[in-house]
Chains A and B, each alone.
Chain A
Amino acid sequence: MDRATRREFLKAAAGVGMAVALAPRPAAATPATMQEAIRRVVGTARVTPGRVKLELPPLSENGNTVPLTVSVESAMTAEEHVRAIHLFNEKNPQPDVASFHFGPRAGRARVATRIRLADTQAVTAIAELSDGSFWSASANVVVTLAACLEDA
């Protein structure tokens, strides 16, 4: 191909390449956006790792349904109890998973549920105590795609 047409060809190819790169992609959470989401809940307070027990299977059988249990050891009295537990992820399209609100009438600060995980990632739980302190725990879950993909 002569120089003129090759230049045209390369420009066209670059144009196509650019267009593909700029095509809209759904926003995905990242460890950074997860931190932002945590900040929105916690404000400027310090988050201390500990006191929260986050139970997740290390290898999920299917990312659509991953069983999760989160608990905080607490007497759950009016004077000293867990106010809320917030769950976050780092690779789903958005970082929030759920927020659970308790009071002394809960008896136990413990919730079990099932979550969706789009990819292998860490899940973080932030507990908010009645004294205003924040505690956290994280767990990693390996998520694989189903082996045989069916059409929906």
Chain B
Amino acid sequence: MAKVMEASGIPVALITALTTLAKDVGAPRIVQGVRIPHPCGNPALPSDRDRAVRRRIVMMALKALQTSVVNPTSFVDPSVLI
């Protein structure tokens, strides 16, 4: 879906735990998510820290949208990884 939408001129940031898979299918802007069951946050953390993690992921996704890319490109904020 990310590929098709990009092709029609809409930048798409794909947040996923499985960056390898996203790269494999050619998604242009790949944002590192946390885990398969919870890509956009970490429910194991206290809620204020989870909120911070979620914010960092979304900020990274916004950065990805503003970056011009040619090939599949990964955007990783190491602090969100467990």
Q: Are chains A and B native binding partners rather than an unrelated pairing?
A: no
Q: Which residues of B come within 8 Å of A, CB atoms?
A: none
